[in-house]
Amino acid sequence: MLHISNPNKVLLLSLLFHSASAGCTDGGGGGCSPPVGEKWDRWDMAGSTYTYCYQGCVVDWLYNNTKPLGLGTYGGVVGVDHYWTHQGMPCLNGEPQEFNKQDALTLKWKAAFPTMRMLQYRILSAVNYDMVIQNKIQSDPDSVIRWRHKAGHADEPGDGSVCWNGVSGCFNDPKRINNPANKCGFHISAAAYNWSNPALAPWFIKEVIAPSLVHADGIWLDGIGPDNGAYMCSGVCCGYGANNSPLVQHEIDAHCKAQTDATTQVQKYLIANGGWEAQKCFDYKSGKSLPNSDDDPTTCASKLQKWSAYGADHSNYNFVVAYGSRTGGRENWNDTTVGGTVAAFMLMRGQHWLFSVGPNGGGGGQSYPPYGANPGTLTPETAKFLTSDYGRPSGGMTPVAGKDGVFQRVYEKATITLDCSDFSGTFAEH
């Protein structure tokens, strides 16, 4: 996940991302399909939210406040960035602990919220902040891209060394993950997986992906662009290509195809085994495109009808995240409009829809002392909306007779109504 330590670099990073779009900085969504299993079929709001723990963490706040505030039991879907688990820092006996820390957080949260679904962080680059990755790099010379030849010259032998990310501050700022206080036995960085090696994808699925289903429910699979990826080693973006990376063009092309094939295998494996991949398999719907408090009444009504029809036909989507992006957040809603927005969501949603949430405030996790992480907050009223349970719907959305721009949907425990004239929602419990 991108970590911006210097606001002055925003413009540069936006240009890097623009150039990255032309390369294979991820593996696509060729293996995506709707989720499998009852645990993904939730209609209560408590089980129908999506959040991402990176700059703040709603789940940590709920963990500390659910009982004191008498809230409903959280059961949503959460992706956890590697910064939130401090990138496996500090090392234990010289060994980084990223996957263990993701497991430990999963077990902690699920002890309080047994039906939540946790998506652990994984990345398409070989970041050796877990011994599974470090041991593979050390034991298998064909697991990562090496300088087999000189940059741009396939006919001139290289020194055979591993290509590492020597650019990003994440790995090259001595105050961060390679801080001496972390007491790691080796330098931590990102190498590029050698996806062209046919033995790599099966290993990746068995050793990196499958463990995410032991305690958690799948993964949030990050790409290989700035700042944690090894894009410079595969020559796919951001100023690196066939002339200044370890790969010439035909090797880059083969690498990109193999990475896509591997990602497709990962997605199919996860879904077939009751898991999920968040980065590409969710259908993210922006808050601007959905009914929101900025809409005039006519636009609000038109959007409700459009998205209600969309949600009623599951062939339109795999798994919707509404009002947010891959990193969650609150798009076009806030604490003053949460009631109307939740009502709109409940009216138009179909099976396998999630409502995107994020905290007020909050800050990112640190991979160096003091390993801080500020979860941010929710207001109690917002938290009650997000952990409510009105059961399953008995039918679809319908207009309310005699009331222009007013729509309702009957659930098992309440009739939910949205009035587009002022974007107000009501929840009349039965």
**Any idea where the domains of the chain sit in the sequence?**
7-29+36-287+318-394
Over residues 331-346, the mean pLDDT reads 98
For 149: left if phi > 0, alpha if psi spans -120 to 50, otherwise beta; the answer is beta
pLDDT at 4 over 50: no
With cut-offs at 50, 70 and 90, classify the pLDDT of residue 226: confident
State the amino acid at position 23 in one-letter form.
G
For 221: left if phi > 0, alpha if psi spans -120 to 50, otherwise beta; the answer is beta
Q: How far apart are CA 219 and CA 278, in angstroms?
A: 6
Listed residue (367, 357, 283) closest to 327, CA to CA: 357
Task: Report whether 232 contacts 252 (CB < 8 A).
Answer: no
Tokens 């009739």 belong to residue = 415
Task: Report whether 390 contacts 415 (CB < 8 A).
Answer: no
pLDDT at 409 over 70: yes
The secondary structure of 170-224, three-state, reads HHHCCCCCCCHHHCCCCCCCEEEECCCCCCHHHHHHHHHHHHHHCCCCEEEEECC
pLDDT per position as a tens digit, 180-189: 999 999 999 9
Tokens 């894009």 belong to residue = 231
CB within 8 Å of 355: residues ≥ 6 apart: 45, 48, 49, 50, 322, 323, 342, 345, 386
Task: Report whether 305 contacts 405 (CB < 8 A).
Answer: no
Taking the CA atoms of the chain, what radius of gyration do you get in angstroms?
23
Task: Report whether 244 contacts 152 (CB < 8 A).
Answer: yes
In 336-402, which ranges are continuous DSSP H helix? 338-348, 380-386
Provide the β-strand partners of residue 428. Answer: 415
pLDDT per position as a tens digit, 75-103: 999 999 999 999 999 999 999 999 999 99
pLDDT per position as a tens digit, 342-363: 999 999 999 999 999 999 999 9
With cut-offs at 50, 70 and 90, classify the pLDDT of residue 227: confident
User: pTM for this structure?
Assistant: 0.93
Q: How far apart are CA 179 and CA 417, in angstroms?
A: 54
